[in-house]
Structure formats: structure tokens, C-alpha cells
Structure 1
Amino acid sequence: MKSETWTIQQVFQDRKQYKVPFYQRAYVWTLEKQWQLLWADIKDKADERLTGATPAPHFLGAIVVEPQDKSGLRGVDTLHIIDGQQRLTTLQYILAGIRLATRELGIVDYDSYLAAVLDNPNRSTMGNADVEIFKVWPTFSDQKAFVEAMTADKLPTLQSRFPAHFTQAGTFRRIGIIHPAALDAIWNFAEWAKEWIVANGGTDAVEALIMAVLNDLKVVLIQLEKDDDAQVIFETLNGRGAELHATDLIRNYLFMSVDSAMEDPAALYEEKWKQFEEDIWKVRERRGRITKPRLEWLIFSAIRAQTGQEGDLARLYVDFKNDAQGRTTTQQLDMLGTYAKHYLQLIEGKGTLPVARFGRRLQPFDTTTTHPLALRISTADVSESEKTAMFGDIVSYVVRRAVCGLTSKNYNNWFTSVLRQWIKGPMTHATLKDLLASSPNSPAARWPDDDEFLHALQTAPIYHGNLDSGRCRMLLTELEGWLRMSKRTEEPAIPDLSDLDIDHILPRSWYEHWTLPDGSKATLAESRAAEQHELMGGTLSSQYLAIRQRAKIVPTLGNLTLLNLSVNREAQNKSFPIKKRLLIANTVLSINGDLIAREIWDEESISARSKLLAEAATKLYPR
């Protein structure tokens, strides 16, 4: 490779175009993070020039380009930007902003100097003048706004081309809008240039400002030669830092390693990768303490699904390269495309595939550690009914452990282990079931049997207790669906009850409107005293014993239901007759049917309903 230190004037002189390869990411520099800082550096150099001093060079870093072969006499020399597109593009925006600023101020003496570093000359000798006229040519997603902004002859033209980005008074909108980067940058640089030029004497200051950009800013320009590996150099420059997402490195790796004799890189991009540039893949998703774009989580999960191996998100690029060995770019993109369809249905809980319902059922449990296993199942060559049964077992495993108060801390290692073993053996429902049940004595991994599950459903504190509101609502919703489907109801489908409130039929604050089984009342102070007495190991009086028994049964499954928000607020801590009247008037849920038929609601009633719902749950979540 050839390495030279160049001024910006040298970079942009002659008939040449720096072209961003189609597969590279879009322009991402912003006002707060880069433009203001760079403009401050330029002003410092311009201020020095006004004093008659010769400023020391300001280095912007290295720019790596790969010259492209030119066929024939027509056209301009083209260099692909391997690294440095953000800087080169920004410098064009700065120069374009200065040109618009000088025109706005009526200073035209420097137009030709600026044209030499902004526009390639001799349109008539170009193959495609509308493109080759530019010194820098961006990637697909940036091109439209880039052309409209860079070809504006004056500031009012920018306003007319981007009317939605200006107020009725003609000022640049600053709040509640996202501007195209080209417009945003050029307008800001033009405004800053106008302000500086006016503040420093007008026409006489323009040359100092232009010289500050063209002569005082410098880069190390590295031109690759035929035997240089562009991907290795790009990886060395970018793969060790945090400036790029891992997916940017992966995209460049895929397209830089294309064998153009066998595969058409542009066609591959359009047909197989471009979908991943859409906004749906830029959504940031959180896993524990880590938040990353959705595309990174897809690739992370896809590699785990492929290999069955544990992974580190910080090594995503390295893991992808290792997994890609021996496969063509087409095969790698096909793999990602296949998993992408299943992944979206999994995380959104919407779609026609069995994995969509699986994702919807487990959303409240935040078990993203199941995603690699779920993707492997969803893409396996087995029947839809087999996949549905497998997903049902994973849901049963997670729900049963949650209801029984067992930890989820080991899920990452556990589900990876299950996936790894499942891949090695026959990938069947029976094999998966055996693997999930393979640690019957481990608190960290066991799949609770019916006895343990039934006991927890009838005696454990469900809410507030072993389940939070989202998980409890999901359990009650699925029980409602089970009850509907087990009888000839008019609406057998599982409903969406996500907007309903969880209600304790016998309220947690029962002291005012509810009596104990013997007809007596109790107070909150007595309840706290009874709890403290029990914790200290003291013998409980009959009154204290009744209070503690009630406190323990209130959060159990049999005492829980779902109500409309306003009905729940009206019912609050009221007595059962009032609650029953509100239920009769306002509920259509099967889960509330037996409540309406009851005359009293007490500990015995709660236990009986817990038993009925627990038996339904063991069928809903079979082991």
C-alpha cells in the first residue's frame, strides 16, 4: 500500500470520485458528537490565519481507499472508501456549506476555488455525469438527500427542496424532527460560516476560512494496491474499537469476501442483505443489562442456534467469521434470512408459525436465553405439530419453575446445554423432553413434576409472590383460554386480556369489610403483630392463627382473577356481595363463572378454586 500525508485540497483536487461501497453503513456523524467539534477546530485555524500566523496542521486521521480499474477514456478516477467515509463526506458538507454562505453574503470571488474541490469538471467526458460530478458518492440510502442538498445553488433552494424541515417563517426546525444528514450538516455549516465571516470582516475573512479547511486540515491517505486485502485492513482499523457495530463489520466482511467470479455482490446486497437495513432491525432490544440493535441479537441467536455453543456478544464478529468458514456469502446470507423470518415472529409474538405463539406465551418471563433453541426448533425439518409440542414443553418447563419459585439464573447455560445435546442426537420431541427432564434433583435445572406443581399452585404465594404482574396475567389468561376450549363456549379462542387488572377476590386489605371464619374482625396492626409473632417462633392464639392462614391464602391462585380496570377500582376492598354484583354485571370470563354462583367467599372457597385451577394448569402445562 502507499501512504502519504495530504491536505484536503490534495484529496479533492483532480478528476476523481471517492465512492462508498454499497454494502457499507450509512453516514452517521451528528451535530453534537462530531460537526460542532470539527467546526471549532476549523475556526481556530481560521482565527490564526487572520492574525498572519501559519497554523500547525490539524490531522483528521487515516483514510483508506482502493483505486478501481477504469475502462476507457470516459469517466473519472474512482476510489472505493475502505475506511474514512464519515470524514470525507463531512468535508464535502463543510465546503458546500461555505459556498452557500458566501453566496448568501454576496461574495462570489471564491466560487471557482470551491467548485474545484466540490465538483469534477468536464461533464461531457463523463460516463454518468449526474453521479460522477460529485467528489464523494455515498451509499444507497444516503444518495437522494445527498444529491438534493449538494446541488442546491443557494440557501432558499435548500428550503424549497426540504419544506417539511423549515418553519412557516423559514427557520430551520430544531425540535421534534429528524433531518436528512446532508441537509442538517450543510445548513448548519452554512449558518456557522456566515456567522464567522460576518464577525471577522466579511470578504477578507473568506480566504482564511477556506484555507483553514483546504490547507490546515490533513489526512494520512492510504491507497491499497492489487495484492492488499481490503477486509483485513478494514478489520484492523475498526474491529478493535467500539465505533462500529459488530453488524457493520459483519456486513463488510460478507461483501468484501465475495468471489465476484461466482457471485454478484450488488445482487446479493439487494436481494438478501438490504432487508437488514430497514428500521425494524435497528430497534434496540435489551437483554439483562445489555442493549443492542435487534440485528445484533438476531446474528447472536442465529450463531448459537447453528453451533449450540455459548457465545460472548463482545466477540460477535469473531464468532460470525468462525462460523462462516467454508460457506459462500450466498449461503451465509441465506442462513441469516431464514433465521430472520422466525426471529421476528418469535420476539413480536405475531405470525403464523408455531414460534410466534411460543414467543407470545413467554414474553412476560423474559427468557431470551431460550431464543437459540427456539430458532433451531422453528427451522428444523419436522412437522408443525412436532414443533408445537416442543415449544409446549419449554413453556411448561419455564412456567412450572416460576410458579414453584425456582431460580432462572442458570437458564443461559442450561438451555445452551440442552440445545448442544439435542443437535448431537435425533432432533425429536421425545429427545427434547428427555433432556429437559434430565436433572430431576437439581434446584437450578429440574422440571417440576405434577405433585410439586400442584402443591405450589394451591399453597404458594402466586401474586404478589412467585410471579410478577405480567407473568400472573399470562397464567390467568391461558387458564381462561383453557377453560373456554374445554367446553362448548361461544368464544373458544384464547383472548387478549393484557389490559385487565389482576384482582385478589378476598383483598389484601380485608380488615374493614371482611370477617374471619369465626365472624370476628381484625386490624392491620393485629396482622403485623401476628406475622412478627410467627417469625419469632411463638405459639399463635386462635385469632392470630386465623389471621396468618388468611394472609397466606390471599396471594394463592384460587383467590386471583382478572377484571376490567374500572370494575377493579370500584370493587377494591369491598365485601364479596358487592364484588359478586359487579362481576355479574361486567364479566364474561369463564374463569369468573364459578365465582358468580357462590354465596360466600372464604378460605375454604379459595382452596377449592385453587384445586380446580391447579388441575387445569397441569393439563395446560404438561410434563
Structure 2
Amino acid sequence: MDTQVRTPQQIFMQPQRLLVPLFQRPYVWNQENQWMPLWQDLERVANRLLASPDQQQPHFLGAVVFQQIQNPTGNLQQRTVIDGQQRLTTLQILLDSLHAEINLVGEVDASKRLELLIRNPKEYCDHNEDQFKVWPTNKDRQAFNEVMAMDMPATYQSLKNKDSKLVLAHQFFSEQFKRWLNEGGVDEIPARVKAIERTTRELLQIVVIDLTASENAQEIFETLNARGSQLTAADLIKNFVFQRLLEQGADIESSYSNHWKQFETGFWEQEISVGRVKAPRSSIFLNHWLICQTTEEIVSREVFSRFKSFADYDVKPMTMPALLERIHAASIKYKDFIDRGDVLEGAIDRIGLFLYRTKAMEMEVVKPVLLAIFDRDQDQIDLNDINASLEIIESWLIRRMLVRGTTKAYNKIMTEMIKVIQKTQKGQLSSALKTFLSNQTSDSSYWPDDKEVRSELSNLMVYRKIGRGRLRMVLEAIEDYRRGWIGDQISMSGVRVRRGTYAIEHLMPQSWDRYWPLTNGYTEQNRNDRIHKLGNLTLLSSKLNSSVSNGPWDSEEGKRAGLLQRDVLFLNRSVTDEAGLVWDEQKIDARTEDLIDDILSIWPVPLGHQSSVRTKKETSKIKITVQDLMGAGLLQSGQVLYSSHSKFPDVTAVILEDGDIGVGDEIFKTPSGAGDFIRNKSTNGWSFWLLDPETKKSLRDIRTQYLDQLIAEGADIEADDEDLEII
């Protein structure tokens, strides 16, 4: 066994074939879970290299396992891919798409260097497929061959395998490379080509475990994939810190008790979600603290290595005890922030409200900014100025959320914001941040104005397009505003709405057809377009039961009576008192505009502020497959599915390794295809198939769980066959 850290240049440079065995699963990586994170890592390293050519910080991609194949001397060298075939296949797709885009901008030398990493010289090829460095499992070969051999510029929609994940991956990376290469204009293209080409060839690192032909590959594979207790960033930093303390002759016991022991309590060991990554709060805090100190983008995988270089070079001659004390002081403030934001009832200060609302938006990315604001001498802190600053940042975040602006550059924006904070004098912070955010002009950072927010929300089906926690937070803010909590004013009522507990209710129900006849002049589509609009949503202290929720508006046991019986909020008074005996499309539209007025007042922009010219919004239409849910760990190969239909109580299906659905000897590409086969009519397979006949948990529930996460991250979701009905 030979184990080495290698780059794509070292792995792919020599003439060879890396063969994926037929029994391995097909290619399953997708944009949300793998391609986009990989691209963001690549882009970050390239940007760093572009800004400072001497700053070479490699990015670790993981490990692969090869096993040598004995073949005659002089033949093309071959190895079997035991583990890591998804990563290797993606790298080949990525390199090929970069090669194509570099060709299109005329950078010949860089193109030739990349060519050596994606094609074997023809002198080594006895067969056409020998040209490829990686040869995937047979189910993917046709698509791989087609997309790797096509001419550029590509017309992906004309390919036979246009729906293959391999083709979609190639298209995704091509689009990203094209955008990045042209981002700085024609004059910058040569420098950008050099940076991105060097990044992909030399600054990505992979651990390669190379087995001889006689070694037991299965045993090694099982050992590598065994479930173990992985060291966190906090664990690694702790070991590093206390080793240095020992070397410096510090009092280890005192340092541990006074400055580190707290990190081993339940609060700090609690796992927190940051996007799709979960990590102990202690590791996330150390990540945020490092970002605040360095004003650099630092992802979770880089925390330990960046901490080491920070301790060894950035803060010299600070001793490790002094550095540990500094970390401890920041952790006290960090915990105080979180505790303030976790107060769900009663009084809450501006800092706590900011933390609660950003938590509802899943914006952990903003915490380094808070650390920076308070990482100053006490005599430099002006609380009124800080509160005004938080209102500005919150307005920027929430307005962008409501217009569904991209969040992918937020790490970079936060580091720029920290730089503004660090150079701004006492009492001038809110003014500096207002100027900084007002001057943002890119799609990833501009501050939406009143006109754009109103235009977006007037017809947006917010219930489907904005995550539930985020939407509830907005409705809570409107309720507080109507109670008199305006800006820094204290309401005469003295009571804020209870946070994080109310249920979102549709005033006109989603199942309206039985008791809610169509209004004259409106079609069924007109009504359905309004069901999920802002003006048709409210908060209730407890959910109405389904009979009341779906019942008529005005009757003794109808919807209006149900609202009146439930601890009525100010949000509901305009509905129960002013709307009277009728709730229809016109009143939904009118209430939508009223709620938008409140939103614009709660989260204002500077007087006269206008959005920069925004490019046409590109919606990411994502068709969710069973394979995607398997890749996210929500479904497994071999899982049995059960019929939900009373006419087919004994029918079962099974999820196959590639995400297909098996029913007896028949195989179907989608759940609905399998449902159609059983019922002999159009069927929503996501609802038809249950994972558990006792709890009635369906594929649709799992799909919704996955979609909610994507919606929370700003994706615009394609409905698949969601609108089909089961009869």
C-alpha cells in the first residue's frame, strides 16, 4: 500500500486508465449537494490566488483508493477505483469543461496543459475509450463518452443524454467557468485563466491510497468507511493549543479550567446546522472568530490549518496563554449573543432581536460581524450606534431574502463589512455601514429598494417560496409593528408577540373547493394564484382543526369564528373586524399591499435609495429525483415502499441502487412511473408510495424535507409531477 497526497496534475498526468467496476453505483452527485460546494471552494482558492499570487493555500478534496491491475509491459497502465469514483468522475468533467472554456478564450498554452489531464495520447490507445483517463461504470459510459467528446461551444440540449447528471455537471461547471473568466472584462482574462488553471491542476489535494494487485481491497474499503468518531476543528485546535502551552511552560491546569473547559459543556458541544453542514457550536465559533480576526473567507474544512498559521505568524509575538485568553473573552460575548436571541417571550433588546431574526433566516454567516462590532475597547462602543447598525444590516438581509437574492457571496460581503467596522471610529458605525451597503451594485450584494420589494411580494406565492421559519419571523415582526414596536419606540402595550411558536394559517384554505365558491369574474387559476400570497396568511396561537380550517368563512363554526376564538392578534383584526362576512380575492390583494407597507416601514432603506440595475433573475429550476434524496442520506438503496391506496394494500416496491423503483420484475425511472404501472393511470408517485404504512410517512414527506432546505437557501423549485392527483 502506498499513500500520498497528490494533486489532479499528479493523478491524471501519466497515461493511464482508472476503471470504475461495474458493481459500483452510477454517478449520483448533483448541483445542490456537491457541484456548487465544489465550485465555491474552487472559486475561493482561485480568487485568493488572483489577489495574491504568493498566497498558495491548497484545498483538500478527500481520499480515493486505487488497486493496480496486472497487465503486459508496454500496455496502457490501468487501476481499479475502489473508492472515490464520484469525486474522480466529477474532476474529469470539471477539467474538461474548463479546458473547453479556456479554448474559447484563446489561451492555447493553458489549454494544452489541461488536455494532458483529460486525454491519453493516441499512441497509447488501442480502442476509442482508451483516450479517457477515467472510465465510469457501464450505466454512465454513454453519457460520459458523449459529453466528453462533444465540440464547444456546446448545445447541451441536443445531446441524447441531456438529462444525465454527467451532462448536467458539465453544463454547470462550464457556466461557472465562463462567468468567472469574464467577470473582470477582456483585459483580465489571461490572469484569470492562469489563476483558475493553476488552482485546478496544483492547488486541489487528494489523498491517494494505491493498493497492489494482491492486497485485500474490500477489507481496506470497509476499514476506511467504518463509522468512527471524527475529530472536530475544536478538537484539533485544542490539541494544538495545549501542545504549545506545554512547550511554552504555561500552567496547563489553570489554562484549561479558566479558558477551555467551558467548550466541553452542552452549550458548546451542541451540533448546529450551517447550510447542510453540521458541527459543534465550539467549532463554528472558532470559525467565526478566525474570520473576524483575519477578515478572510474561511470555510469549515480550513479552520484548523488557518488557526495554526494565524497563531504561528499573524499574532506574533503574542504568547499562547494570551491568545487563549483572547479567544475565551470572545466566546463569552458570543454565548451572550446567542442567549439573547433565544429569548422567545417577553422583553428582548435590539441585539437579541437581531440574533433571533438572523437565526430564523439561518444566517450564521453574520455572527463574525457581531464579534467584530464588539471586539473593541469598551470606551469605543456606542450602544445606540450599534443598535442602528444592526437595523441597517437586518434591513439589507431581510429585503434580499424577500426578493430571493442569492446568498452565495455572503461570506465575502461579511469580511468586507468587518473591514469597514474595524476602521470606523466610535459613533460613526451606522453611517459607515449604511454607505457601504447602499453602494453595493452586484446581484450578490445590492440592497433592494421599496419598488423592487413591493413588485416581488405583490404576486409572490410566499408560502411556497420562502421557508416557514423565515415567513413566520416576518409575520411576527408585522404583529409587533402593529402593536406599536416601531423602530426604537417601546409599545404602549409593553408586550411583544411570542416568538417562534405561532402557526402559519391560510385564511382562504388550500382546500377551498367545497365551501368557497368562485367569486364572480375570477377563475380557478386566479384563486389558486392568491392562496399562498402574503395577504392570505396569518398567525394563530394554535392550528385550527381541519374541519374549521377548510370550512366556510362566515358561519357559527366557520373560519372567521375560529379566528375570533383564538387569542386574536393585531394581524387578524383587519380580517375579522374589517373584512366582515366576506373573504375573497380582492381582500387578499388589498391585505397583501397593507402588509408590504408594514414590511417597508419595519426594514427601511436610506431616503432616496434606489436599487442598482439588477440583471434578470435566473431561477434555478431543480427537478428532484429519488437519487438526489439518496445522495442527501434521506433514502437508502433496498428500502421498501408500500402502497398508500386502499385498492392495492399488498403492493410493495423497492428503491434500487441507482434511484430507480423496482416493482416485481419491472423497473421504473420515477415513483410516478411505478405508480402509473400499479394503477394504470396518471399517479403522483411521491404521495402514492409510503416508507412506513403505520405512520403514513410518504416519499412526498421526504421530498418536502429536502425541498424546504433548498427553499431556505434561495432555490426556485420545479414542481416535477407534484400537481398530479391521486384518485
Q: Give distance in 2, aligned partners of 1:335 and 1:353.
A: 26
Q: Give distance in 1, aligned partners of 2:519 and 2:253.
A: 77
Q: What is the match of residue 454 of structure 1?
A: 454
- Bigger fraction of residues in helix: 1
Is 1:435–2:436 an aligned residue pair? yes
1:590 to 555, 562, 570: 570
Confirm or deny: 8 A CA contact 1:410 1:445 kept in the other structure.
yes
Pairs aligned (count):
356
Q: Give distance in 1, aligned partners of 2:503 and 2:236.
A: 46
1:328 to 303, 319, 325: 319
AA in 1 matched with 2:335: L
- Describe the shift of the 1:361–1:504 C-alpha distance in structure 2 as closer, same or farther (beyond 3 A): same
Q: Give distance in 1, aligned partners of 2:255 and 2:510.
A: 61
Quote the offset at 1:477 in angstroms. Answer: 0.9
Partner deviation per Cα, 1:158-193 (whole Å, 9 max, x = no partner): xxxxxxxxxxxxxxxxxxxxxxxxxxxxxxxxxxxx
Confirm or deny: 8 A CA contact 1:478 1:494 kept in the other structure.
no
Q: What is the match of residue 503 of structure 1?
A: 505
Is 1:371–2:363 an aligned residue pair? no
Partner deviation per Cα, 1:276-323 (whole Å, 9 max, x = no partner): 232322222222232222211111110101121111322322212322
Q: Give distance in 1, aligned partners of 2:282 and 2:596.
A: 40
Quote the offset at 1:268 in angstroms. Answer: 2.5
SS of alignment partner, residue 503 of structure 1: strand
1:601 to 578, 583, 590: 583
Q: Give distance in 2, aligned partners of 1:253 and 1:332.
A: 12
Q: What is the match of residue 278 of structure 2?
A: 291
Quote the offset at 1:547 in angstroms. Answer: 2.8
Q: CA RMSD in A?
A: 2.8
* TM value normalised by structure 2: 0.46
SS of alignment partner, residue 565 of structure 1: coil
- Describe the shift of the 1:315–1:366 C-alpha distance in structure 2 as closer, same or farther (beyond 3 A): same
AA in 2 matched with 1:337: H
SS of alignment partner, residue 516 of structure 2: coil
- Describe the shift of the 1:270–1:564 C-alpha distance in structure 2 as closer, same or farther (beyond 3 A): closer
Which residues of 2 match residues 605-616 of structure 1 at below 5 A? 605-616=587-598
Larger radius of gyration: 1
Identical counterparts, % of pairs = 27
- Describe the shift of the 1:353–1:472 C-alpha distance in structure 2 as closer, same or farther (beyond 3 A): closer
AA in 2 matched with 1:341: I
AA in 1 matched with 2:510: R
2:298 to 292, 311, 326: 311
AA in 1 matched with 2:375: T
- Describe the shift of the 1:256–1:504 C-alpha distance in structure 2 as closer, same or farther (beyond 3 A): same
- Describe the shift of the 1:405–1:315 C-alpha distance in structure 2 as closer, same or farther (beyond 3 A): closer
Q: What is the match of residue 300 of structure 1?
A: 287
Q: Give distance in 2, aligned partners of 1:617 and 1:423.
A: 31
AA in 2 matched with 1:364: A
Quote the offset at 1:329 in angstroms. Answer: 2.3
Q: Give distance in 2, aligned partners of 1:496 and 1:242.
A: 39
- Describe the shift of the 1:334–1:356 C-alpha distance in structure 2 as closer, same or farther (beyond 3 A): farther
Q: Give distance in 1, aligned partners of 2:403 and 2:545.
A: 27
Q: Give distance in 2, aligned partners of 1:610 and 1:433.
A: 28
AA in 2 matched with 1:460: L
Higher RCO, 1 or 2 (CA under 8 Å, sep at least 6)? 1
Q: Give distance in 1, aligned partners of 2:299 and 2:360.
A: 25
2:529 to 552, 559, 569: 552
Query: Which runs of no fewer than 5 residues in structure 1 stay unpaired?
Result: 1-240, 519-541
- Describe the shift of the 1:609–1:311 C-alpha distance in structure 2 as closer, same or farther (beyond 3 A): same
AA in 1 matched with 2:598: A
Q: Give distance in 2, aligned partners of 1:486 and 1:289.
A: 35
Confirm or deny: 8 A CA contact 1:503 1:568 kept in the other structure.
no
- Describe the shift of the 1:582–1:261 C-alpha distance in structure 2 as closer, same or farther (beyond 3 A): closer
AA in 2 matched with 1:373: V
* TM value normalised by structure 1: 0.53
Q: Give distance in 2, aligned partners of 1:251 and 1:489.
A: 47
Q: What is the match of residue 272 of structure 1?
A: 259
Q: Give distance in 1, aligned partners of 2:604 and 2:549.
A: 35
AA in 2 matched with 1:612: D
Partner deviation per Cα, 1:120-144 (whole Å, 9 max, x = no partner): xxxxxxxxxxxxxxxxxxxxxxxxx
Confirm or deny: 8 A CA contact 1:309 1:420 kept in the other structure.
no
AA in 2 matched with 1:292: A
- Describe the shift of the 1:557–1:383 C-alpha distance in structure 2 as closer, same or farther (beyond 3 A): same
- Describe the shift of the 1:594–1:383 C-alpha distance in structure 2 as closer, same or farther (beyond 3 A): same
- Describe the shift of the 1:461–1:378 C-alpha distance in structure 2 as closer, same or farther (beyond 3 A): farther
Quote the offset at 1:383 in angstroms. Answer: 1.7
